[in-house]
Structure 1
Amino acid sequence: MDRPSLRRLFSACDVNKSGRIEYEDFTVVCRELGVPDTQVQTLFEKFGAFEDGYIDYRGFSSRFQEVSETLNLASFGAGSTQTPWEEFVDRIDEEFLLSER
């Protein structure tokens, strides 16, 4: 994923727009993506959040590829027309395009 796309994804996950992703933000996004509740805390920690209690952009960008491969985000909702991950990314792209206008 290129850096601008990663930055947009981080911003979309920063639900309360604090400049970092707190556990509450992360939980909202994970539920939207269909991540099982039992995996949310572990996934949050994989981004390095256990150190500070939140995910900053540096931790997010440096660990995103590894975490997404481990979790296999693209597989959530497999079998439907569009997976929750694809819908989420499409929504982020649409919001970005609207904000550019």
Structure 2
Amino acid sequence: MNPNNFQRMLDEDVERLAPEKYERIVSTVWGNLGFLRMLGDVADLYMSQMVGVMVMAAGGAGPETQNNANHIPPNTPDRPDQNGPIGGGPQSPEITR
């Protein structure tokens, strides 16, 4: 397969560089890519957890309640507020039995 002009130009540039300089450039590029990969891994690890923290800070359900199948959110008809009576009946003291 015949190399295109850009491949020939790259080969000429590599031939003009000293081997030590070429190796230093290659190692620097790979080092920078490794550093960027590490930053991406750290961001992936902590950003996903930070989203959960922000949801909990805004008043959302935490991860321990999401895994519990029997969890009933507060202030729903099945689980009234802690200060009110249990059940959905009338609130007047004359009607209670």
* TM-score normalized by the length of structure 1: 0.23
Rg larger in structure:
2
Using CA pairs under 8 Å that are at least 6 residues apart, name the structure with larger relative contact order, 1 or 2: 1
